[in-house]
Amino acid sequence: PSTEILENLSEYKDVYSEWATNEKVALEVAAGASMAGARALATMKHVGLNVAADPLFTLAYTGVNGGLVLVVADDPGMHSSQNEQDSRFYARSAHIPMLEPSDSAECYAMIQRAFELSEAYDTPVMLRLVTRIAHARSLVEKGERAALELRPYVKDAKKYVMMPGNAKGRHVAVEARERKLRADLPSLGLAHAEWNGTQLGVVCSGSAYNYVKEALPEASVLKLDMVYPLDEEAIRAFSSKVERLVVVEELEPFFEDAIKAMGIIGRAHV
């Protein structure tokens, strides 16, 4: 489900692109570009993310220089894959923020937002697609492209060389980064409540949002653009105003488990 991303990106002659030997190499090449000061993107589907997991978890510790975005396309229903897999767990395990769009216009906007977040919080950012979004078409309003200078490279072995002595210090930085991001979430505007009464409230994201809008037009909806870390303040505020809370998500009960851990009990539909 992710192949067309690179095929189309390669048509932009002023953007350097290449196919790598495998997904691990692809992410490492993108990481090198980021460390040198350029914005860089690596794209793959969920099975490829398994191959790229080694550098991914280390990049969570090193952070970035130029913005670094990893686009991963999950394949619910296995339209072109050998298994189903929920990449949201990679974001949680690596402590890396993840965004999830619900249509083509949001894909366009969230890539820009992902680069901005990456540079603001010194972290790789993941963008999760699914097949139904990757192979969908919708109207997109394009903006003007901004010419960005390379960010200066500063040699910093303690930041970029993950020997155990340095990694221990960077682990502290990862925890501090995530705490700051969680604290900032209410001001980032990445959770959207759409009100249509208080009888039924649905928490969802991505393609599931489209299913909810079609199947449950009477429901109020909390749409999460950032699926990790979760905006707990927004979820608590939304759940407190509805009589029944339902979680709708594809594949694993990622939101459901997190919301239950907050002490909010909902009923999940997969």
pLDDT at 147: 84
Q: How many C-beta atoms surround the C-beta of residue 262 within 10 A?
A: 12
Average of per-residue pLDDT values in the chain: 93
Q: How confident is the model at residue 68 (pLDDT cuts 50, 70, 90)?
A: very high
Q: What is the mean pLDDT of residues 230-246?
A: 94
Residue given tokens 């210090």 in the structure block: 169
N-terminal to C-terminal alpha carbon distance within the chain? 21
Say how far apart CA 9 and CA 144 lie, in whole Å. Answer: 17
pLDDT tops 60 at residue 87: yes
- For residue 19, what is the DSSP state? -
- For residue 152, what is the DSSP state? P
Quick one: what percent of the chain has pLDDT higher than 70?
A: 98
pLDDT tops 90 at residue 268: no
Per residue in 177-193, pLDDT tens?
999 999 999 999 999 99
Backbone phi and psi for residue 116, each to the nearest 5 degrees, phi listed first: -65, -45
Q: Which residue type does 81 have? A: S
Residue 129's H or E segment, with its range, is: strand 125-130
pLDDT at 224: 98
pLDDT at 168: 95
pLDDT tops 50 at residue 217: yes
pLDDT at 266: 54
Q: How confident is the model at residue 270 (pLDDT cuts 50, 70, 90)?
A: very low
Per residue in 115-151, pLDDT tens?
999 999 999 999 999 988 888 888 999 888 888 899 9
Half-sphere exposure of 136 (CA within 13 A, CB side): 20
pTM of the model: 0.93
**Whose CA is closest to 94, among 67, 125, 122, 64?**
125
Residue 106 near residue 100, CB atoms below 8 Å: no
Sheet holding 68-74, edge to edge: 40-45, 68-74, 125-130, 98-99, 226-228
Q: What is the mean pLDDT of residues 65-92?
A: 93
